[in-house]
Amino acid sequence: MRILLLSDIHANLEALQACLAAAPSSDRVVNLGDVVGYGANPNEVIEFCRQLGGSYVRGNHDKAICGLSDMEDFNPIAAEAVLWTRQVLTPDNLEWLRSLPQGPMQADDIPGTQFAHGSPLDEDEYVITPRDAVEPILVSQPALTFFGHTHVQGSFALDSEQIEGAHPGYLTVGQSESVTFPLHSGLRYMINPGSVGQPRDGDWRAAFAAFDTETQVVAFCRTPYDLKSAQDRILDAGLPKRLATRLAAGR
Ligand code: ZN
């Protein structure tokens, strides 16, 4: 099975469309949460995702926007975007958001793999460093976890002795590109496809990943998108300016 992994779209319609256009063909889409929040097209992105189908886990922004959690951990800019998004979402889309399941999620036809927004031990926890990844990797029954939340594309791999973090080494800065990452049997992994709509690893291109369960190869992908249009929509919506400028920096 070929799985397309999307995470942290954050209502960035231009980035989502670019990812779908650049993605290899897939049998299943798995979305790792934070469909909305920050970006200016929450209704359009949710409708796009609903049409796309596939499997989902919810993100912290998804939860806050539909009132399932408070905004205690949100900075003022993120909180402003939550309130704005809550206001503009249609009741139907808000209801869809509320129905997204809590991770980690497993699918019967994808054995040995689980999907989470943050850590599989806590959906709101950030797994940033190899040290953060050790416990969730060791405690998890599935050997492979796909996760999001940090907006940083990359992998953690644990063998019998040590854990190693890695990021794909891209050769270009503004083109569509993918880097393959073959999984090795006997190792345990946490893999982040990166953020579609608000990358924070210094690369402004939209990020996603594809996983072939037969060959056990992950492809990390980046693709350019209409950044100016996404920024203009954020500014036109009256959302904080920083949410537009940070997209260009990939921070
Ligand atoms: Zn996010």
Q: Output the CA 177–ligand 1 centroid distance in Å.
A: 22
Q: Output the CA 32–ligand 1 centroid distance in Å.
A: 9
Q: Output the CA 54–ligand 1 centroid distance in Å.
A: 19
CATH class of 2-249: alpha beta
pLDDT digits (tens, 9 = 90+) for 60-71: 999 999 999 998
- Across all residues in the chain, what is the average pLDDT? 97
Q: Output the CA 151–ligand 1 centroid distance in Å.
A: 6
Cα-trace Rg, the chain: 17
pLDDT of residue 36: 98
Burial annotation 40-73 (CB, 10 A radius, 16+ → b, else e): bbbbbbbbbbeeeeebbbbbbbbbbbbeebebee
- Which residue in this structure is represented by tokens 């939860």? 63
- Taking the domains of the chain in order of start, what are their residue ranges? 2-249
Cα–Cα distance for residue pair 206/19, rounded to 1 Å: 7
pTM over 0.95: yes
pLDDT digits (tens, 9 = 90+) for 19-71: 999 999 999 999 999 999 999 999 999 999 999 999 999 999 999 999 999 98
